[in-house]
Amino acid sequence: MALESGSEEDMKTTGYFAMVLLLCLTATAFGKEESILKDNEYGGITKVVTFSEKDAEHKKGIKKVVTAYDEIKNKIMVEVYATKTHSEKEGWDKTTTYYWGETSIGEVHSTDSHSEVYGFDKMVNFYDQNNLLYKREYYLRKESVVAKLGVYKRVVHYDNNGRKTESEDLDRVGNVIKITLEDYKRFKKSKGR
């Protein structure tokens, strides 16, 4: 007896459904949750994976990973959210990496307690096509002394061997700000009054 086309289609649908169910059950068994969002800002999908305390990733300090793809399935952005314990220990609660052609940009967002100690809220790393760091930007806390003297970010440049070649302090529009020791002392003295 030959199968009718409707029956064959039903078999494919049932097989597909069984496969999806198996994948869902497998994900549930490991404790991670996965969801896919369509039509993101890059024209593709966004995959969100949330880890439970049972997962190895969670034990390594990763709470959630969000990966965005463009319309031709190129990875464009990855956000990694830290667990509370990890963020308290390491001083960051979120990292974001953007992939632009052969280069990438990585942002690290500091926790409040970490930024109080080190004076910056966000650090942005720029990598070349060989994945070598060539520039790092530190975005200063508004409350830091240097920020109150007009500095918005500190930019550090590196050579191909990873050695620092120069650094500069910039205001919000990119003008170089030079702060002398005398400027710093004057500011500290004026705050002591």
Close Cβ partners of 13 (under 8 Å, ≥ 6 residues apart): none
Distance of CA 4 to the CA centre of its chain: 52
Q: Is the pLDDT of residue 28 over 50?
A: no
Q: Provide the pLDDT for residue 33.
A: 84
Element (H, E) at 154: strand 153-158
Closest CA to 107 of 80, 88, 83: 80
For the chain, the domains span 31-192
Q: What is the pLDDT averaged over residues 68-76?
A: 94
Close Cβ partners of 28 (under 8 Å, ≥ 6 residues apart): none
Q: Is the pLDDT of residue 30 over 70?
A: no
Q: What is the pLDDT averaged over residues 1-8?
A: 40
Least confident of 15-19, 48-52, 154-158, 176-180: 15-19
Taking only the tens place, the pLDDT of each residue in 87-145 is 888 888 999 999 988 888 999 888 888 888 788 899 999 999 888 999 999 999 888 88
Taking only the tens place, the pLDDT of each residue in 154-193 is 999 999 998 999 999 999 999 999 988 888 788 778 876 5
Q: Provide the pLDDT for residue 70.
A: 94
DSSP-assigned letter for residue 55: S
